[in-house]
Structure 1
Amino acid sequence: MPFRINSQLAQLIEQHYPAVKTAGFHLSPVAGLTGESWRVSMSSGEMLARFHSPDRQISGADRRREHSILRHIARHNLGPCVRLYSSPWLLVDWLDGAPLAEDAFAGAAQDVLTQSLVKLHHLPLTGYRLDLQQQFAHYWQHIDRRRLTPAWLRLHKKMMRCRPPAPLRLSLVHMDIHAGNVLETPHGLRLIDWEYAADGDIALELAAMVRSNGWNAVQQHALVQRYVDAGGYRDLVLLQQQVNRWLPWVDYLMLMWFEVRWQQTGELKYCEWAQPLRP
């Protein structure tokens, strides 16, 4: 499968960049041998090629949406620039830099990162509205039914029946901000992996950051305080309350995502990550 995808990508590059037939180019897999992301090295520069696989679609990624959103933010130095979109491939600029270390992400870099987050949240909406209950229903079709319990079934019905918190403010949200997705480049911090980005509540973004990074209540309060100080929202107390309202929704989103990935890959780490969230 990776070889076939590699061949498809090579043909696409030769079609859209005729000069490479003379100068040549090199493809190397990124983040393992899944065949979903490739580094493209050419004489004119480097790109990252992202494949829209069925597994990524099931887990909630959408390269068409990602392409549209990256074009939407192109002038604001928040992420990579799009070079080419031809389904099922999205090619973006390769960003020179390294992911933030965990201690930097949780410490000194947070002020700069929060400023970037506020900048993102002040951009116009994209028209791609995030619907968590629709995502829950989609994930429900792709979990291992043998892992279902009566308590989980009750929780699922509750999450599908309850109304999500009314947004404090709708904005473009990234929804996957952790140290590995924040690059320190010569031109400042850049966010990568925009495959889950959409329009959602600013407090949902903060709640997702808290849960995905395993931050405690003190760290959560510090994040919200920095966000307010950076001009992201004026009412600290109201924003903190809204983040707390979203936490159970983020917990269930993470549980469902881990369970889907377990079903897709069979990798035990997803079961281990899901276990603390299982009812």
Structure 2
Amino acid sequence: MARPALACAPMTIAPPILPVDAPPPWLVQAVGATVPIEGPWLPLEGGRSNRVWRAGDLAVKLYDPTSATPLFPNDPAAEAFALQSLTSLPLAPSFVSSGAGWLAYRYQPGASWRQDPAAVARLLGELHGLGPLPGLRSLPVGPQQIGQQARSFAIAGLPPMPKLSDPGPVRPTIVHGDAVPGNIVVTPQGLRLIDWQCPGNGDPVDDLALFLSPAMQLLYRGAPLSLAEREAFLAAYPCRATVARYVLLAPLLHWRIAAHCAFRAARGDAGYGAAIQLELG
């Protein structure tokens, strides 16, 4: 006597388990549709906002829209525009392609900056000497606008915001907007600025303050600059008027960075709480 047929549940195939640091398949497909990729995708370290891989001779960035803050907007369109505009200059990586939420540029071989602040001062001076880049956002300029921005995201518990007199009109120029050690790469051809997701036209003192920031140096390099390193940076920056304006605005510029650190710490981001008091000096 034949046995009755057994009812079989439909077979399902579990999707492959990808390593945590592996790029999502849709990203590999999207980038590969615009430019040939040779070699494996290797995760790169350094960024605190987005995920980045090296794929052949490319660096591919996948943006995290939730990481944007009032001080650092993390704008993929702005980064693509800046890289396309600067691609012929030895300041930034060469733009390759971009898509929804991602960007590919030529990989910059080298290590994150750790020493020789005078070289960074010369690099930023070269950038700021280009003048404004039409199409970028306008950054807050002067004590009133900077103060309004800082108050918009300040967290309770900070000391009162410094009140400063206006040092006078500023000729806007392109500002990187995130000139921290992790975004400065020491390559065989010299220093290069990466991570252009926060650029704008404004006062170059913004870049000076971010590079000199004790909090940002701690977070990205492990220790603030020494007094001698700070002095070497300011002495090497080519525009003395900008240096003088930075010195006048420094208490407010660094208060704004401390407010940013408080904003990140309130969201649970590691390391920022310890950096607040360091920034306030």
Secondary structure of the corresponding residue to residue 119 of structure 1: helix
**Counterpart position of 1:188:** 190
State the distance in 2 between where 1:89 and 1:223 align. 34
Which sections of structure 1, spanning at least 5 residues, go unmatched?
A: none
Structure whose residues are more often helix by fraction: 1
The superposition leaves residues 101-160 of structure 1 with CA deviations (integer Å, 9 ceiling, x where unpaired) of x3x334xxx2x43332222112131232212456435535xx6xxxx23x65x53xx77x
Equivalent residue runs for 1:7-18 within 5 Å: 7-17=25-35
**Counterpart position of 2:124:** 117
Query: Residues 37 and 48 of structure 1 are in contact (CA less than 8 Å); yes or no, is this contact kept in structure 2?
Result: no
State the distance in 1 between where 2:45 and 2:179 align. 17
Deviation at residue 241 of structure 1 after TM alignment = 3.2
Query: Residues 51 and 63 of structure 2 are in contact (CA less than 8 Å); yes or no, is this contact kept in structure 1?
Result: no
**How many residues in Structure 1 have an aligned counterpart in Structure 2?**
246
State the distance in 2 between where 1:220 and 1:97 align. 23
Secondary structure of the corresponding residue to residue 83 of structure 1: strand
Which sections of structure 2, spanning at least 5 residues, go unmatched?
A: 1-17, 141-145, 218-223
Deviation at residue 52 of structure 1 after TM alignment = 2.4
TM-score normalised by L of structure 1: 0.72
State the distance in 2 between where 1:122 and 1:166 align. 19
Secondary structure of the corresponding residue to residue 49 of structure 1: strand
Q: Does 1:51 align with 2:62?
A: yes
**Counterpart position of 1:225:** 235
Q: Does 1:77 align with 2:78?
A: no
**Counterpart position of 1:129:** 138
Deviation at residue 216 of structure 1 after TM alignment = 5.9
State the distance in 2 between where 1:35 and 1:220 align. 26
Secondary structure of the corresponding residue to residue 75 of structure 1: coil
**Counterpart position of 1:200:** 202
| 1:167–1:194 distance in 2 versus 1, CA, 3 Å | farther
State the distance in 1 between where 2:42 and 2:229 align. 38
State the distance in 2 between where 1:259 and 1:89 align. 28
**59, 69, 76: which is aligned to 1:63?**
76
**Counterpart position of 2:9:** none
| 1:163–1:63 distance in 2 versus 1, CA, 3 Å | farther
Identity among equivalent pairs (%): 20
| 1:75–1:247 distance in 2 versus 1, CA, 3 Å | same
State the distance in 2 between where 1:205 and 1:278 align. 18
CA RMSD of aligned residues (A): 3.4
TM-score normalised by L of structure 2: 0.72
| 1:264–1:115 distance in 2 versus 1, CA, 3 Å | same
Q: Does 1:38 align with 2:48?
A: no
Query: Residues 180 and 210 of structure 2 are in contact (CA less than 8 Å); yes or no, is this contact kept in structure 1?
Result: no
Letter in 1 for 2:139: L
**87, 94, 97: which is aligned to 2:107?**
94
More moved, 122-131 vs 210-219 = 210-219
State the distance in 2 between where 1:61 and 1:180 align. 15
**Counterpart position of 1:249:** 252
